[in-house]
Structure 1
Amino acid sequence: MLLKDLMYGFVIVKERNALNLNELLDFTQKCYINGEISIAEYKKLYFELNKLGAEKPKSFIFNNRELIIDVS
């Protein structure tokens, strides 16, 4: 799967364009978890998006009742 295919798939599923590269990265991860793309495709897309500037949050902190995302 190429980045262009990923972007097209995002539009089909979400019925809108991705807001940013990070949203495409999240979508890529979801596709992999759901078995829609292989690990090889996931790695290729991950590295391509990362090279363009996409990032996952630096750390996740789980509280008893809420998810706190620390991006500092």
Structure 2
Amino acid sequence: MTDAYSAAGVDIAAANRAKDLMAAAVRATHGPAVLAGMGAFGGCFDAGLALAGMNAPVLVASTDGVGTKT
């Protein structure tokens, strides 16, 4: 599969380097409600903790990428 990606112009090593470079900045935004870090399909966090004390909270979360059909 790697050869097919390379032939299509996809550089997996460059993508991995980019993720490594942004990881610290992403982690810096995490508060105590974050349950999972980078790499998952979607973010996981404790909504009870994140929304505690809010009046009529609304939560909108989305993960999207090329090929997503939702």
User: Which of structures 1 and 2 has the bigger CA Rg?
Assistant: 2
**What TM-score results when the alignment is normalised by the length of structure 1?**
0.27
Instruction: Give the structure with the higher percent helix.
Output: 1
Higher RCO structure, 1 or 2 (CA under 8 Å, sep 6+): 1
Q: Which has the higher strand share?
A: 1
TM-score (structure 2 length as normaliser): 0.27
